[in-house]
Amino acid sequence: MSQHPTPAADITVDGTGLLCVTLLLRLRQWIDSAEPGTVVHVIATDPAAPLDLPAWCHLVGHDYLGPVPGDQPAFALRLSADVRPTRPEAPWPPDLAP
């Protein structure tokens, strides 16, 4: 099975030291004006990031591309044009509010 290389980042978001909820709230702000198709690398040290980032991408509609090889724990995603809006105070869509 061949593995596809991770695309180069158009934007790199450094979430070092942030818990995933805070990271996702900030990530949403950092990518707010980016065009669909933009590749984002997210540096994330929270141990929950490998689960939370793909789940968040699935919930809102971005394409999760997987871990980025290298020395830092980083993950790649591609921004989609068909994104579900999220609540201002939470990183998930309103219909999924707890």
Q: What is the CATH number of the domain that holds 38?
A: 3.30.110.40
**Per-residue confidence (pLDDT) for residue 62, from 0 to 100:** 96
Full residue range of the structural domain in which residue 49 is found? 11-96
Regions in the chain scoring below 70 on pLDDT: 1-4, 96-98
The number of domains in the chain is: 1
- pLDDT, position 49: 95
* CA 4 vs CA 1, 20, 56, 58, 78: distances in Å: 10, 26, 22, 20, 14
In a domain, 43, yes or no: yes
Residue 2: per-residue pLDDT: 40
